[in-house]
Amino acid sequence: MRVLVVEDERDLARALAEGIRRDGYAVDVAFTGGEALDKLSGAPYDIVCLDLNLPDIDGREVCRRIQADTLRVDDSDVPRVLMLTARDSLADRVAGLDDGADDYLVKPFDLAELLARLRALSRRRSNHTGALVEVGPLSLDPRRKEVVAAGEMIDLTAREFALLRYFMLHPGEVLAAERLLDHVWDENIDPFTNTVRVTISKLRKKLAEAGQPQMIETVVGSGYRLVA
């Protein structure tokens, strides 16, 4: 899942980004509302962590624009918005939610709570309701970063875990390599790299070692699909 952190306090923005990356997300950072809108117009983010007190465009206005048709690649690419702000009055929370935010977290907050809210938004975005993600013999725990196949633990790198989580949140869908790059890697990835193919190859090998050799299939000319 790909997250955009929008925060004008640069040290805080970088700290949030690093903490979220450690939880298995691809993360980009914007320091102004204008920069955020530019990034949103060019990439399909899954979640936006949005500060309200930005130096150029107020975060509420950014949130309203996120919902606008002019920023949509298609309807499925409209991200969830988690507002992060020191504005803690009831009126502020109601206004933010009415502007299109999906959740609202008041500063100061603990990173653990932020990560829990991101996991909840990830489940909501994929219409998945349980804390565990399960497809066939696979069970993935986003909080503990554990994957079990038919009772056997699979040791994955952070990127392999993020890739498998995206597959498991979209079971049966044919996912193009470009879409996987958009949602599992951040903006620093070379779009012409073969990293998707290489990472899928490593993931397939580990699944095969756990007795699940056929779960990720190649759809020639289209991409890849996770099958139960």
3-class state of residue 148 by DSSP: strand
Residue 104 to residue 89: CA distance in whole angstroms: 11
Domain edge (last residue) among 125, 154, 184: 125
pLDDT(226) > 90 = yes
Is 121 in the same domain as 10?
yes
Residue 155 sits in a domain whose CATH number is 1.10.10.10
Residue 27 sits in a domain whose CATH number is 3.40.50.2300
C-alpha distance across the termini of the chain, in Å: 21
Is 144 in the same domain as 209?
yes
Distance from CA of residue 197 to its chain's centroid? Answer: 20
Q: How many domains, the chain?
A: 2
Say what the pLDDT of residue 73 is.
47
Say what the pLDDT of residue 129 is.
57
Residue 30 to residue 36: CA distance in whole angstroms: 5
74 burial via Cβ count (<10 Å: 0-12, 13-18, 19+): exposed
Domain range holding 120?
2-125
Distance from CA of residue 177 to its chain's centroid? Answer: 16
Helices 177-184 and 195-209, axial angle in degrees (round to 10):
90
CB 58 within 8 A of CB 87: no
Minimum mean pLDDT among 62-71, 109-118, 185-194: which range? Answer: 62-71
CB 23 within 8 A of CB 68: no
pLDDT in tens, 158-217: 999 999 999 999 999 999 999 999 999 998 888 778 999 999 999 999 999 999 888 999
pLDDT(50) > 60 = yes
Using pLDDT thresholds of 50, 70 and 90, give the confidence band for residue 130: low
pLDDT(69) > 60 = no
Residue 139 to residue 215: CA distance in whole angstroms: 13
Give pairs for 208-217: CB < 8 Å, separation 24+. Answer: 209/154, 210/149, 210/150, 210/152, 210/154, 211/137, 211/149, 211/150, 211/152, 212/136, 212/137, 212/138, 212/149, 212/150, 215/136, 215/138, 216/167
CB 96 within 8 A of CB 104: yes
pLDDT(71) > 60 = no
Say what the pLDDT of residue 70 is.
45
Give 7 or 128, the one with higher predicted confidence.
Answer: 7
Say what the pLDDT of residue 94 is.
87
Helices 195-209 and 158-169, axial angle in degrees (round to 10):
80
Mean predicted confidence (pLDDT) in 143-167 = 92
Mean predicted confidence (pLDDT) in 63-73 = 68
Say what the pLDDT of residue 171 is.
92
Is 150 in the same domain as 98?
no
Using pLDDT thresholds of 50, 70 and 90, give the confidence band for residue 76: low
Is 83 in the same domain as 142?
no
Using pLDDT thresholds of 50, 70 and 90, give the confidence band for residue 92: confident
For tokens 């190649």, name the residue. 218
Read off the pTM.
0.80
Residue 7 to residue 214: CA distance in whole angstroms: 43
Domain edge (last residue) among 125, 147, 174: 125
Is 86 in the same domain as 164?
no
Mean pLDDT rounded to a whole number for the chain: 89
What percent helix, strand, coil does the chain show, rounded to 5? 40, 20, 35
